[in-house]
Structure 1
Amino acid sequence: MLEVELKFQIPASDQEKLYQLFLNKNARLISLYAKYYDTPERHLAEKNISLRQRLEDDHWIQTLKAPSDHSLQRFELESDLGKQKDPDLDLKIYQSDSKAKQLLQNALGKQAKNLIVQYETVVQRLVHVIHFNRSKIEVSLDRGEIRHNDQSVSIYEIEFELKQGSIQDLIKFIHPWVQRYHLWLDVRSKAQRGDLLAQNLKNPAAQFASPLQLNPQDSTDQALKQIINNTLQHLLPNASTIASGQYDSEHVHQTRVAIRRLRSALRVFDDWSKDVNPDWQEQLTHLFRQLGSTRDRDALSEGLLPQLEQAGAPFVEVPDTPEQSGIPIDESLRSSDFVELILHLLRFVDQPSKEQKKSGLKKDISKKLQKMHQQICKDADQFLQLDIPSRHRTRKRVKRLRYCVEFVASLYPVQDVKHYLKDLKPAQESLGQYNDLMVAETLFQNMVKRKQKSWFALGWIASEKKYVLQQAQQHLDDYSKTDTFW
């Protein structure tokens, strides 16, 4: 009922090597043809649900798939339709399964009668089953294409599906494949790629953070793993889109937000589990910086430059922002280092909780939130007197507190949390604006020797900084008077 699978894309330089490996292993060849159904309004795609009929050699299988709460698992229900010529879609088979019935009812309502074929896949699959430790893992190499009318996109990917055993074994097994063949993790399903093709879109909408539901009876170890899982569900869809090379500024922004949320969780709650690796924080910081210059350009293009134009700037151009490492961000998110980090985090999330203590979660949260709250209030008392690095630290403290409040919000009265975040938000926004102006000032200073007209931008930024700085001080003062909810 739950499918456990990880899928990877293969660089063109390694595709032939992998293909030969499967041939040498006498992998079984299966011809797959699949039809994917949805309504014209995409009711299923909107819920990330896929409904397909697939011909496996001469046998038809109807499959319903939907997301689950775990980053590695999906709900899957397969129904054997037998050796028919071209079977009609049969929704009656889901009446006896309460989960499947509810999924379709919630997604379709009365629209089930409007389901039609939206796109198709034609795949040649090489399958090799391997016994590893106490687990059985099916490794599949898929070559083919997704089709919609006269359009198509190619498929050349490898999937690792856990047929029997533990997720821990699955991830251990995958590690050497990543290193040897430079595989990069892709959480986009064939159904999602097909849906994009049917819409004539190059990339999906950016994934935003989703609410997290914690249980006050959970141990701190269990709570941290749920928090990390939540950040990965935010990070991985955006990272996969960027790694594919077809992305926009919102994907970059949400990837940065997801990494910052992940870093915040690991920094604030790292003592909740003995399995947290301190190296993860350093790796995430390095990745965050690689994404930084791209985000700075986007912030300038979409925010600051229109304001400069409106102010009458004689020359408006985005200053050069060289990549911190010289590595394009899509390449960074395809790197073996990034994939290995994600595999370690996925393995951490799945590890059985070693801490059996079930009380004290909210007490520990209160201590941590109170400490962060007091640090910001102390900064508020002297914000205008702080040096630039200290103001930058205040901004990071505010963001970190906001993310941590959102992680644990489900444990407290909704209105109390909402009121607290409402008072925190203005401070975060004004501090963010101040930081953007600081970044822009540095970039224009580097540019002014080549473009004298950039002096106008520097003058405008200097004036705006004074205003935003005063605004930030006021917002911090207002925030320091708010009531805490913990």
Structure 2
Amino acid sequence: MSQEIELKLALPPSALPALRRHPLVAGAAREGKAETLDNTYFDTPDLTLKANRVAVRTRRQGRKWLQTVKCAATSSGGLSSRPEWEGPYNGRFDFSAVDHPEAARLLHKHGGKLTPLFSTRFRRETRLYSPREGVRILLMTDSGRIEAGGRELPICELELELVDGDPLDLLELACTLARDLPLVPNDISKAQRGYQLFHDQPVTPVRSEPPRLEADAGISEAFRALAFATLRAWQANAVAIAEGHQDPEFIHQLRVALRRLRALLRTFAPVLPADFHETWSARLREHAALLAEARDLDVLYTELLEPVRTEEVNRDEIDVHGLAALADDARTEARKHALKGLAKAGEGLAMLEFTAALHRLPDIEGDLASFARERLDRLRKRARRRFDAATDLAPARLHALRIAFKHLRYAVEFFTPLLARKAGARYLAALVKAQDTLGYLNDVDVARARLARWADDIRALQTAAAFVSGWHAPRYARYRRRVLDEARPLLWGRKPW
């Protein structure tokens, strides 16, 4: 068995010539000639291997045939590590070399049922990068396609595979390349993409899902696990956007991932090195700001204008459809602007440098449970102060309360495994409800201001803007009356930690 440690980087096909010309790539020694690799992936008809996170592949490499078995990868920031067994293939599978007990039992039990599901065909150029003694990294440029059921997806990626050295050496090389090239770390393997194509599954936005922390975990272990889990959502949505997927939810979930990372930094700030906290809080804030306008306009169009537009408006002078068309054009332009901004900001480089910084973080002493309770208490006290200031229901103060609730909610989600299970779930559900109420109020306030500006510029839309604001007024008033009653028990009632 070998332990494969690699870093997968996606890039647009148009960037391949620049990648090949890059001094670090062009200066690395060639490892043989470029090859075309034909791979076929196998599973049982009911996808037993996939369910157990095992992959079986055959590869034709020139005149040679190989059989490969891989188990589930541990992945963080695009950097993955997985056990792998490779050997010759003569038309029949031989799993005798697989020394992972569970995988071996699975393969011996189901080996006779394996059938081809999908294939990949790509051209691979391999070079060996060795900047100093003790460090050797394979640079493998793959370009081609995945095929399944008459459908296909393109392959264009750079894989960095560690031969000798430390995983941080991979990240440092990737950071150097990403300063000049549009590289984005990507945890999704060719096999995963192949299964998606086999099922004809669309690429969907990825939500940040906190890992399950153990009560006896250290503070460093918990912080890294939470950071890497959120980073995976950032990466997945960024790759989908770069591939041209148009669903506005990709931008929303990317922005949520950035907000969660900033909240994580804020939550752990007392124990993090000051330069790490300050640097990454600022960088993540800059990236999130690039998406704010696009997200605000998506909310305006889908949450506030669409419900009104779909109703019958019988008065010809109320041009809600014209207002919606203006909003749709504005959000399309905002999206283009956001994508250009992200490209200029070097989003892939930011992910890679953040991953490297996480690997370099020193260990943090202390008890995680005690730390969590102290941080949750502090965030709740901060929200109390915002609550007291918002009793006049002024929009700006309600917005400040909303931000405080958001920080508290994220912290509760981070530390959920350390809370009383049922009480923690109830508390979190109530937090989400209160935050949604505050969010709706803020969305309407922001929309009113924007609609008023548009109406000032285009007089024909004044009546439509007033109609939309009036349509939402009853719900707005109802939410405004109840918002403090929803919030009060969360701040002064029993806490689940």
Name the TM-score, length of structure 1 as normaliser.
Answer: 0.86
Instruction: Report the secondary structure of 2:496's partner residue.
Output: coil
Query: Partners of 2:204 and 2:50 in 1: how far apart?
Result: 12
Residue 408 (structure 1) shift? 1.4
Query: Partners of 2:309 and 2:239 in 1: how far apart?
Result: 35
Stretch of structure 1 that moved more, 420-429 or 210-219: 210-219
CA RMSD of aligned residues (A): 3.1
Amino acid at match of 2:19: L
Query: Partners of 1:472 and 1:311 in 2: how far apart?
Result: 28
Q: Does 1:66 align with 2:72?
A: yes
Closer, same or farther: CA 368–23 of 1 in aligned 2, 3 Å: closer
- Residue 368 of structure 1 is matched in structure 2 by 375
Q: Is the 8 A contact 2:93 2:111 kept in 1?
A: no
Instruction: Report the secondary structure of 1:213's partner residue.
Output: coil
Residue 256 (structure 1) shift? 1.9
Residue 456 (structure 1) shift? 0.8
- Choose from 322, 329, 349 the match for 1:340: 349
Q: Is the 8 A contact 1:38 1:45 kept in 2?
A: yes
Instruction: Select the structure that is richer in helix.
Output: 2
Residue 423 (structure 1) shift? 2.7
- Residue 56 of structure 2 is matched in structure 1 by 51
Q: Does 1:26 align with 2:30?
A: yes
Query: Partners of 1:175 and 1:99 in 2: how far apart?
Result: 37
Instruction: Report the secondary structure of 2:88's partner residue.
Output: strand
Residue 69 (structure 1) shift? 5.8
Q: Deviations over 1:220-248 (max 9, x none)?
A: 33332222112112322122111211242
Q: Is the 8 A contact 1:50 1:65 kept in 2?
A: yes
- Residue 433 of structure 1 is matched in structure 2 by 440
Amino acid at match of 2:411: C
Residue 273 (structure 1) shift? 2.2
Query: Partners of 1:54 and 1:171 in 2: how far apart?
Result: 28
Paired residues for 1:35-434 under 5 Å: 35-39=40-44, 50-57=55-62, 58-68=64-74, 70-71=76-77, 72-82=79-89, 84=90, 87-89=91-93, 94=98, 96-101=99-104, 115-133=114-132, 134-201=134-201, 203-274=202-273, 276-309=276-309, 312-313=312-313, 314=318, 315-316=320-321, 317=324, 319=327, 320-321=329-330, 328-335=337-344, 337-351=346-360, 353-355=362-364, 357=365, 359-434=366-441
Instruction: Report the secondary structure of 2:276's partner residue.
Output: coil
Amino acid at match of 1:434: L
Closer, same or farther: CA 427–80 of 1 in aligned 2, 3 Å: same
Stretch of structure 1 that moved more, 158-167 or 326-335: 326-335
Q: Deviations over 1:464-484 (max 9, x none)?
A: 322221222221123234311
Instruction: Report the secondary structure of 1:181's partner residue.
Output: coil
Residue 164 (structure 1) shift? 2.2
Amino acid at match of 1:346: T
Query: Partners of 2:54 and 2:100 in 1: how far apart?
Result: 16
Q: Deviations over 1:107-138 (max 9, x none)?
A: xx998765432221112211111223432211
Q: Is the 8 A contact 1:244 1:330 kept in 2?
A: no
Q: Deviations over 1:314-349 (max 9, x none)?
A: 524152545898854444554562222211221133
Q: Identity percentage over the alignment?
A: 23
Residue 431 (structure 1) shift? 0.8
Closer, same or farther: CA 93–235 of 1 in aligned 2, 3 Å: same
Closer, same or farther: CA 20–252 of 1 in aligned 2, 3 Å: closer
Q: Is the 8 A contact 2:75 2:187 kept in 1?
A: no
Closer, same or farther: CA 43–398 of 1 in aligned 2, 3 Å: farther
Amino acid at match of 1:439: V
Query: Partners of 1:37 and 1:456 in 2: how far apart?
Result: 59
How many residue pairs get aligned? The number is: 475
Q: Is the 8 A contact 1:167 1:350 kept in 2?
A: no
Query: Partners of 1:62 and 1:287 in 2: how far apart?
Result: 40
Name the TM-score, length of structure 2 as normaliser.
Answer: 0.85
Amino acid at match of 2:7: L
Q: Deviations over 1:445-480 (max 9, x none)?
A: 233334243321122234432222122222112323
Closer, same or farther: CA 326–156 of 1 in aligned 2, 3 Å: closer
Query: Partners of 1:299 and 1:110 in 2: how far apart?
Result: 51
Instruction: Report the secondary structure of 1:286's partner residue.
Output: helix
- Residue 493 of structure 2 is matched in structure 1 by 482
- Residue 472 of structure 2 is matched in structure 1 by 461
Query: Partners of 2:267 and 2:247 in 1: how far apart?
Result: 31
Query: Partners of 1:36 and 1:470 in 2: how far apart?
Result: 59
Query: Partners of 2:247 and 2:332 in 1: how far apart?
Result: 17
